[in-house]
Amino acid sequence: MFDNMNILITGGTGSFGHEFVHYTLNNYKPKRLVVFSRDEMKQWEMAKNFSGYKCLRFFIGDVREKERLNRALANIDYVVHAAATKIVPTAEYNPFECIKTNIIGAMNVIDAAIDCKVKKVVALSTDKASSPINLYGATKLASDKLFTASNAYTGEHGTQFSVVRYGNVVSSRGSVIPLFKEQRKKGVLTITDFEMTRFILSLDDAVKTVNFAFKNMVGAEIFVKKIPSIKIIDLAKCIAPSCQYKEIGIRPGEKLHEQLISKDEAYYTYEYESFYKILSPLYNWNTGSKRIGDGKRVPKDFFYTSDNNISWLKGPELKSWIDNIN
């Protein structure tokens, strides 16, 4: 799919970006793979880690700056939009900055992709965008709407835009696992709520989900991979079984349980073997066989939350899973 193609990833020096670049270089032969980000030091370190790949390029820029994006996206075929302000408390206390990156940045990526005649764009989203209660989730919901609706600007033969929505990525920046590993040195792990649950997946699965979207997208879909849930207290016990656990209360903007698909979205949601697809109702995009394929519409009262999931990781299985990805 990416052989002899020009690919760009925004926010490319983050955890997902590192894994995406590693996976792409090991499985495809792209003409160019461009890492677009605003941190020159992270780019310098990443360039050293991936030295020897002539196709790999680094481009300093910010998704808030449309002119820079227009320059970066020239002759690009595929774009992965991973740049975001994503730490929930940071977004709550810096709302203007979060909106500039997550909403204005999304608009700039869309405009630049259309102007530069990019073939396909996949934007990364989050479970926090479904019935959001925090600013990060609200901005990602707005971003999701922007990307799906933008297919109306390009028609059948222009740039295609789709979204991938998933839960907590293990060992990504901001993940609780590095925090727990640091806290176990002192013998006490802080848990916001002993009943808290989360969806969980590995960085490798996150990258494969994005690649799956590129291969199967028509445009205006939100792809939701079926992933397991965990209880945060179970995760803490796997990482530090001999430590004490202190309940400290939910932080501003946090949910007790996360949600990937709401009841309101169920009306436009179709189920497949390993994923769900939420289709935009604009222009009857949710009714055509081209997007639905062999999907089966979910019941009207369906919802997909981390506490009502049928797939769980716990005990030895969770510990083995964590050990295998670290």
Q: What positions carry a catalytic annotation?
A: 128
Element (H or E) spanning 317, and its range? helix 315-325
N- to C-terminal Cα separation, the chain: 28
Q: Which residues pair with 123 in a beta bridge?
A: 81, 163
Do the bridges between strand 197-201 and strand 188-191 make them parallel or antiparallel, or are there none, so unpaired?
A: unpaired
244: exposed, middle or buried (C-beta count within 10 Å: 0-12, 13-18, 19+)? exposed
Q: Sign (positive/negative) of CA torsion 160, 85, 181, 313?
A: negative
Q: How far apart are CA 85 and CA 260, in angstroms?
A: 19
| Cα–Cα distances in angstroms (integers) from residue 297 to residues 61, 271, 287, 311, in the given order | 41, 6, 11, 20
Write out the two tokens for 288: 């055509």
Side chain identity, residue 201: L
Residue keyed to tokens 């981390």: 306
Name the strands in the sheet holding 269-271, side by side, starting at the edge strand that comes first in the sequence. Answer: 56-60, 32-37, 6-10, 78-81, 120-126, 160-166, 221-225, 275-279, 269-271, 296-297
240 CA to centre of own chain: 28
